[in-house]
Structure 1
Amino acid sequence: MSDPWPPGDRVKTYTAPGTAVRFDARRCAHAEECVKGLPEVFDPARRPWIDPSLADPDAIAEVVARCPSGALHAAVDGVWAKEGGPTAITALADGPLEVRGDFEVDGRREVRALLCRCGDSANKPWCDGTHVRKGWRARSG
């Protein structure tokens, strides 16, 4: 199974028969969609914290698609899911820009991303949650 997103220093791919989950820790905004969706697969208290052997590959792909930051991607039977579609950008209330669709950021093809809007992320252009720690608020009007 060829991973279209090559591993980096904080990128890991977890595999089981019929499925793989790629996790890029630098992109994670801790929205916990994965943990809420399949806590048996995504358990931050366990090492390794992702075990794709504990659920149906299609269920894992469905939960991974909820990850707003693009930190998670899933493959079922060797095919990496590509949500694609028209690109939509939403400014989250007092938070980052959520981008979904088929787009390019920093020379990489993406389907989901949370982009920093506060200007203080240590991992620009990606949101790292700094806006929450600093109490950043979006200006109105």
Structure 2
Amino acid sequence: MAGMVESDKIDVGFSGKRCIHSRNCVLGDPHVFVPNAPGQWIHPEAASVEKIVAIAESCPSGAITYIRKDGGPQEQPPVVNTVRLRENGPLAVHAEIVLDGETFYRATLCRCGASENKPFCDGSHNKSGFAATGEPPLKDTPALEARNGPLKVTPTTNGPLKLEG
């Protein structure tokens, strides 16, 4: 399911294809994000705009998005780009991500090779038996001059992701 739920102060978007079921939304406020509800399960009128923004920005996959209508700031790229290895799971990316001509700030990208929604994770790592640490090997690297800015993601067919930026 993909779509936008509108309210007076904030619109909340959801992309089922991007969701990895981290449950940050339903744990953040089960009155706004009602789990296992028949029909409409997002109720933006049930919490403050600030709370909904915080919950949306904690969604690692970027499946939850928002458009503020109260004059407050929209989501911004992070000050420092991060790519986190989720143990036995995807790459959790927080950056100004540029992929296939689209720009967004949060995504979970497949690293097991089994996703049917590449380059995004679809949870296939759970069924495929993929196992990999969440800790990258350590090596000495010089400090980067810039740790923000656009991060261009270029997927290859059933192969690795090229990250530039």
| Interval of TM-score (by shorter of Structure 1 and Structure 2) | 0.7 to 0.9
1:49 aligns with 2:41: yes
Q: What do the CA deviations read for 1:4-30 (whole angstroms, capped 9, x no partner)?
A: xxxxxx420001110110111100000
Structure 1 unpaired stretches of 5+: 1-9
Q: Which has the larger radius of gyration?
A: 2
Q: TM-score, normalised by structure 1?
A: 0.85
1:97 is matched with which residue? 91
Are the equivalent residues in 2 in contact too, given 1:14–1:51 (CA < 8 A)?
Answer: yes
1:35 aligned counterpart, secondary structure:
helix
8 Å CA contact retained: 1:85, 1:102 = no
Q: Name the SS of the counterpart of 2:6 in structure 1.
A: strand
Alignment pair present for 1:127 and 2:121: yes
- CA root-mean-square deviation: 1.8
Structure 2 length normalisation: TM-score?
A: 0.74
Letter in 2 for 1:129: G
Unaligned runs of 5+ in 2: 138-165
SS in 1 for 2:80: coil
Q: 1:60 aligns with which of 49, 52, 63?
A: 52
* Among candidates 102, 110, 115, match of residue 104 of structure 2: 110
User: Which amino acid in 1 is paired with 2:80?
Assistant: P
1:14/1:20 contact within 8 Å kept: yes
Mean Cα deviation higher: 44-53 or 58-67? 44-53
